[in-house]
């Protein structure tokens, strides 16, 4: 399939492929890439595990297609069918560029290109399936898959340098790998007292207790089921800290029930979707994130940009933020007791750390990065 330069003779056609189209990081990355190349014709295919159902997709999309065989779990039957069906779509649509946004869609989409002329492909990497928490038996397979698909991948866009280094360690040429941060709106925040007062007025969050905030979608991959254990663990040391969970997801109600059963009513609150996340960050004394599946978690970036300390499992990006000047404590994945101790330590600290330079996460920087990656793939 011939590559068409951006010469104005015809809008370039870009096919985006997402295993799970979720509100949050995936949705934002698709929006940013569409905005980064506005002269293109953008098409989106999402897998059957997408949740919630395509709420407010980018208006600039030419069309959206649901592909039920594209699922996150490994299924030889569904995966083979997905490769065939995506290959048929590529033959019919004849995109000038394929962009895959998650690990499974990256494997399916790039394999499909082998069957239909190999259009150039950009793989966006927000987390590595062969990262520190990958089961030992699975990691070699995932590494092998990425090495095999590297020759048919024109460019990689990784959200952090930790992820970029993992790709290079596999033998992928450094010239193919760009770091493009996840686009975040980071502006002037209210003073902490005003933010606390706003949360107290809207949600009844106590204004006089230390606030520990979890800012992430409420689902298994973000460790939501471990939050009650964490809160119980620190309450054995100090009953004052209040747990605030900001985010929505399929475990919303289950988490509320578990917190209640754990005797944490009055000591925790699950807000659900929050539009003013900046207030949650500004009001927090500590941000905690128990995900085991991260590339450079956005919640930690928001905390670091506001000068709020964080506690995180040892995932890609957490140590990177510390190197950039953030105050964070990184503990082994699954060590809830260590995380509770880290929360206690940070709450006892007298001063907040300085905010990191968030310029690389600005909209202008992110759009410029994505445009460069896509433009290079289309024209080289």
Tokens describing residue 134: 């990958």
Opening angle at CA 160, ends 243 and 134, nearest 5:
70
Is 7 a domain residue?
no
Same domain, 342 and 288: yes
Is 269 a domain residue?
yes
C-beta separation of 252 from 218 below 8 A: yes
CATH code of the domain covering residue 42: 3.40.50.2000
pLDDT band with cut points at 50, 70 and 90 for residue 6: low
| Host domain of residue 369 | 13-183+362-379
Is 46 a domain residue?
yes
Same domain, 142 and 198: no
Nearest Cα to 171, choosing from 156, 188, 150, 189? 150
* pLDDT value of position 51: 58
Same domain, 161 and 52: yes
Same domain, 161 and 261: no
Same domain, 278 and 337: yes
Domain count, the chain: 2
- Residues 288-306: pLDDT tens digits? 999 887 778 888 999 999 9
* pLDDT value of position 94: 93
Tracing tokens 């119980």 back to the chain, one arrives at 232
Which DSSP letter does residue 153 get? -
* pLDDT value of position 53: 47
Average pLDDT of the segment spanning 298-315: 92
The answer to which of 92-106, 127-141, 162-176 has the lowest mean pLDDT is 127-141
- Residues 63-93: pLDDT tens digits? 888 899 998 888 888 899 999 999 999 999 9
* pLDDT value of position 3: 43
Same domain, 162 and 269: no
Is 88 a domain residue?
yes
Tokens describing residue 361: 């996460």
C-beta separation of 317 from 325 below 8 A: no
Same domain, 235 and 123: no
pLDDT band with cut points at 50, 70 and 90 for residue 137: low
Tokens describing residue 330: 């990184």
Q: Tell me the C-alpha distance between 163 and 160, whole Å.
A: 6
Same domain, 108 and 209: no
Is 3 a domain residue?
no
Is 2 a domain residue?
no
Is 8 a domain residue?
no
- Residues 183-201: pLDDT tens digits? 776 666 788 889 999 999 9
Q: Tell me the C-alpha distance between 41 and 43, whole Å.
A: 7
Is 341 a domain residue?
yes
Torsion angle of alpha carbons 33, 34, 40, 45, nearest 10°? 100
The answer to which of 215-219, 281-285, 360-364 has the lowest mean pLDDT is 215-219
- Residues 11-64: pLDDT tens digits? 999 999 998 887 667 888 899 999 999 999 999 999 887 755 455 666 778 888
Same domain, 149 and 239: no
Tokens describing residue 260: 């209640």
Per-chain mean pLDDT for the chain = 87
Same domain, 167 and 268: no
CA 139, 141, 147, 151 torsion: positive or negative? negative
Tracing tokens 């190197």 back to the chain, one arrives at 323
Share of the chain above pLDDT 90, in %: 54
Look at residue 313 and give its three-state secondary structure.
strand
* HSE-up of residue 57 (Cα within 13 Å, Cβ side): 23
Same domain, 269 and 296: yes
Distance spanning both ends of the chain, measured CA to CA: 14
C-beta separation of 214 from 243 below 8 A: yes
Look at residue 287 and give its three-state secondary structure.
strand
Same domain, 175 and 206: no
């Amino acid at each position: 399939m011939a590559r068409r330069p951006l010469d104005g003779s015809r809008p370039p056609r870009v096919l985006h492929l997402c295993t799970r189209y979720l509100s949050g990081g995936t949705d934002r990355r698709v929006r940013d890439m569409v905005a980064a190349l506005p002269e293109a014709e953008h098409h989106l295919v999402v897998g059957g595990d997408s949740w919630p159902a395509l709420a407010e997709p980018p208006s600039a999309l030419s069309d959206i297609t649901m592909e039920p065989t594209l699922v996150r779990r490994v299924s030889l039957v569904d995966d083979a069918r997905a490769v065939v069906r995506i290959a048929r779509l590529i033959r019919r649509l004849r995109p000038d560029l394929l962009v895959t946004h998650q690990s499974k869609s990256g494997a399916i989409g790039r394999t499909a290109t082998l069957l239909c002329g190999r259009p150039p492909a950009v793989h966006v990497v927000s987390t590595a399936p062969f990262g520190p928490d990958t089961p030992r038996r699975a990691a070699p397979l995932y590494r092998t898959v990425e090495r095999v698909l590297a020759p048919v991948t024109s460019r990689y866009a990784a959200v952090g340098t930790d992820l970029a280094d993992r790709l290079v360690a596999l033998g992928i040429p450094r010239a193919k790998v760009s770091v493009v941060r996840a686009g975040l709106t980071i502006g002037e925040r209210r003073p902490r007292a005003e933010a606390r007062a706003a949360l107290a007025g809207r949600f009844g969050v106590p204004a006089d207790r230390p606030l520990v905030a979890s800012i992430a979608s409420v689902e298994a991959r973000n460790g939501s089921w471990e939050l009650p254990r964490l809160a119980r663990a620190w309450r054995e040391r100090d009953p004052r800290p209040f747990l605030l969970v900001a985010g929505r997801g399929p475990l919303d109600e289950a988490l509320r029930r578990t917190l209640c059963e754990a005797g944490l009513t009055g000591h925790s609150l699950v807000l659900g979707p929050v539009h003013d996340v900046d207030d949650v960050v500004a009001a927090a004394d500590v941000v905690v994130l128990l995900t085991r599946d991260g590339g450079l978690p956005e919640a930690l970036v928001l905390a670091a940009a506001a000068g709020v300390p964080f506690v995180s499992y040892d995932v890609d990006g957490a140590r990177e933020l510390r190197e950039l000047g953030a105050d964070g404590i990184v503990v082994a994945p699954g060590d809830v007791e260590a995380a509770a101790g880290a929360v206690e330590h940070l709450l006892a600290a007298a001063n907040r750390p300085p905010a990191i330079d968030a310029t690389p996460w600005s909209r202008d920087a992110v759009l410029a990065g994505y445009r460069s990656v896509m433009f290079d793939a289309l024209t080289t």
